[in-house]
């Protein structure tokens, strides 16, 4: 049996590869669920046409991010549809006036400074350019949290590529000859 050695070796490689491919992500990422099963698509069609209708800017140009509960309860004091998700949302959050603890995919480390208004108004970028076409999605993707860093695995990059990594920021800024000094994005 001259071939026994190579076969055992190849089998070992396959097992190790499989474990690394399938098992390792489970090991380092913890999958967490969003508090509410939210559909951007339904809201875009029925409540607001533009991203800014809910993800608003403040008067000083800072970005308000995920809307607070009172924005939701403006419409959802009583059930508007017949979905279980909405009923749960009203029972668990709107009625007891409890803010949902949304998990933010795009959350950046605390030493990162990012201004939405500079990018959308001065730079004329579309929201989709970095966030992907989330306005058309029907459900929120699972939130896979890196167990070590605490950040999300998927930061909603467009075309599946991570758009919100430092490399991506710098690449775009270099290409367009924009500010790319350290302190332009770090604080």
Partner 1 sequence: MIAQGKTNVAARYGMSIDVDRCNGCGACMVACAAENNVPPAANGATERTGLTWIRVYRVDNGGEGNERRSAFVPMLCQHCGKDAPCVAVCPQQAVDVDPATGIVGQMPERCLGCRYCMAACPYHARSFNWSDPAWPAGMEKTLNPDVAPRMRGVVEKCNLCQGRLHTAKAKAAMAGRVEIDPADYVPACVEACPTRAIHFGNLNDAASEVAQESHRKGSFRMLEALHTDPKIYYQSKKDWVRETASAPRPGKENARG
Which residues sit at the interface with partner 1, rule CB under 8 A?
A: 57, 59-62, 110-111, 113, 115, 117-118, 121-125, 172, 176-179, 181-184, 186-187
Q: How far is the CB of 166 from partner 1 (least distance, A)?
A: 10
72 burial type by CB count under 10 A (0-12 exposed, 13-18 middle, 19+ buried): buried
Nearer to partner 1, 97 or 111 (CB): 111
What is the phi/psi pair of residue 145, to 5°? -100, 130
> Backbone dihedral region of 81: left (phi > 0), alpha (psi from -120 to 50 degrees) or beta?
beta
Q: How far is the CB of 121 from partner 1 (least distance, A)?
A: 5
Nearer to partner 1, 35 or 123 (CB): 123
Nearer to partner 1, 97 or 124 (CB): 124
* 48/6 Cα distance (integer angstroms): 62
Contact 116, 51 (CB under 8 A): no
Nearer to partner 1, 161 or 187 (CB): 187
CA of 36: how far to CAs of 39, 89, 184, in Å? 9, 6, 35
Q: How far is the CB of 148 from partner 1 (least distance, A)?
A: 17
Overall residue count recorded for the chain in this entry: 187
Q: How far is the CB of 108 from partner 1 (least distance, A)?
A: 11
Nearer to partner 1, 69 or 125 (CB): 125
Contact 30, 147 (CB under 8 A): yes
* 76/71 Cα distance (integer angstroms): 9
Nearer to partner 1, 1 or 182 (CB): 182
Q: How far is the CB of 99 from partner 1 (least distance, A)?
A: 19
Q: How far is the CB of 172 from partner 1 (least distance, A)?
A: 8
Q: Are strands 143-146 and 29-32 parallel, antiparallel or unpaired?
A: antiparallel
């Amino acid at each position: 049996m001259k071939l026994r050695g190579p076969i055992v070796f190849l089998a070992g490689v396959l097992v190790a590869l499989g474990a690394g491919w399938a098992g390792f992500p489970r090991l380092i990422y913890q999958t967490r669920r969003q508090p509410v099963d939210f559909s951007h698509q339904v809201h875009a069609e029925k409540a607001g046409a533009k991203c800014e209708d809910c993800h608003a800017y403040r008067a000083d140009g800072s970005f308000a991010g995920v809307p607070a509960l009172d924005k939701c309860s403006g419409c959802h004091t009583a059930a508007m549809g017949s979905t279980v998700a909405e009923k749960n949302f009203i029972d668990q959050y709107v009625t007891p006036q409890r803010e949902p603890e949304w998990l933010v995919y795009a959350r950046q480390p605390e030493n990162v400074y990012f201004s939405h208004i500079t990018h959308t108004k001065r730079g004329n970028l579309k929201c989709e350019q970095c966030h992907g076409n989330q306005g058309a999605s029907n459900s929120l993707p699972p939130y896979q949290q890196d167990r070590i860093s605490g950040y999300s695995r998927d930061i909603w990059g467009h075309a599946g590529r991570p758009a919100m990594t430092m490399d991506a920021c710098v690449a775009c800024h270099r290409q367009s000859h924009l500010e790319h000094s350290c302190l332009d994005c770090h604080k």
